[in-house]
């Protein structure tokens, strides 16, 4: 709309102060401080913002020491501007006292008899444990010769008959004078295994003397020789 077609009369708002109009860019130069302070503001604010961001991220991460790539860059930036924290160490001569453990007395518990005795059954002896070496048995078939040396007449025959009546079927006598002349009636045997037989012969005719003599085998068949002397008692 042109000024000539404006239907309203002019008022105070139509009076424009020409000195208050916006000036052109090239109208005046800014001062040195006006050109420098934006850069100083950026230099100061960037470290502060980075420091706050690092602490904020460290608090959210639970202190586990992990950080994102942006936080790592921020920490490296703040590490150059903030001095390392001084760690205080306690003096070396500070001694620590140890409290001895408290011993609690244990009550004496009376001994109680335990009924845990177990009855042991007697072990019956087995046949192998009680078996003993059988005693030697006299050989009733052995040849026994009886001779008289100073006994009453008929003493040799009496001794041979007594042995035969007791089961000695091969007992006999003769009148030959024996080479061995003992002072008491004696039963001689020539081998160690004939001892039981000689003992049985002596017991049968009532003679106490029994003696091992290997030379008897040459004079008595079978190795059992009985010599009766003056002390022999006939049956």
Question: Could you tell me the residue range of the domain that residue 36 belongs to?
Answer: 29-81
pLDDT at 223: 83
| Residue 114 maps to a domain | no
pLDDT at 28: 59
**Domain end position, chosen among 81, 101, 120:** 81
pLDDT at 101: 64
Question: pLDDT (tens digit, 9 = 90+) per residue, 26-63?
Answer: 555 677 777 888 888 888 888 888 889 888 888 776 54
Q: Are 155 and 185 in contact (CB under 8 A)?
A: no
Bridge partners (DSSP) listed for residue 27: none
pLDDT at 214: 86
pLDDT at 227: 94
Q: How many domains does the chain have?
A: 2
| Residue 58 maps to a domain | yes
Quick one: 150 and 222 in the same domain?
Answer: yes
Which residue is associated with the tokens 């078939």?
141
| Residue 136 maps to a domain | no
Task: Give the C-alpha distances (Å, rounded to integers) separating 118 from 114, 115, 122.
Answer: 11, 9, 13
| Residue 153 maps to a domain | yes
pTM over 0.75: no
pLDDT at 195: 94
| Residue 112 maps to a domain | no
pLDDT at 24: 52
- Residues of the chain scoring pLDDT < 50: 63-74, 76-79, 81-84, 90, 92, 94-95, 116-117, 128
pLDDT at 98: 61
| Residue 15 maps to a domain | no
| Residue 61 maps to a domain | yes
**Taking the alpha carbons of 141, 142, 147, 149 in that order, is the dihedral positive or negative?**
negative
| Residue 70 maps to a domain | yes
- Looking up residue 156, the CATH number of its domain turns out to be 3.30.70.2390
Residues of the chain with pLDDT > 70, as a percent, come to 58
Bridge partners (DSSP) listed for residue 146: 173, 226
pLDDT at 229: 94
Give the separation between CA 148 and CA 177, rounded to whole angstroms: 7
């Amino acid at each position: 709309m042109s000024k000539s077609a404006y239907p309203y009369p002019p008022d105070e708002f139509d009076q424009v102060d020409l000195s208050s109009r916006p000036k052109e860019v090239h109208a005046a130069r800014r001062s040195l401080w006006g050109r420098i302070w934006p850069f100083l503001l950026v230099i100061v604010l960037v470290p502060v913002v980075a420091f706050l961001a690092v602490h904020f991220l460290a608090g959210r991460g639970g202190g586990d020491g992990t950080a994102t790539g942006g936080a790592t860059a921020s920490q490296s930036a703040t590490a150059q501007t903030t001095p390392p924290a001084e760690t205080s160490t306690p003096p070396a001569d500070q001694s620590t006292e140890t409290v001895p453990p408290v011993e609690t007395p244990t009550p004496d518990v009376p001994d109680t008899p335990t009924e845990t005795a177990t009855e042991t059954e007697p072990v019956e002896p087995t046949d192998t444990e009680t078996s003993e070496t059988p005693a030697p048995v006299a050989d009733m078939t052995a040849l026994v010769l009886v001779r008289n040396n100073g006994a009453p007449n008929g003493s040799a025959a009496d001794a041979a008959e007594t042995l035969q009546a007791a089961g000695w079927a091969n007992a006999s006598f003769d009148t030959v004078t024996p080479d061995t002349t003992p002072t008491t009636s004696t039963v001689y045997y020539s081998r160690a295994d004939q001892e039981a037989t000689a003992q049985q012969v002596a017991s049968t005719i009532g003679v106490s003397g029994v003696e091992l003599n290997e030379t008897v085998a040459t004079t008595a068949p079978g190795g059992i020789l009985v010599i009766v002397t003056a002390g022999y008692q006939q049956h």
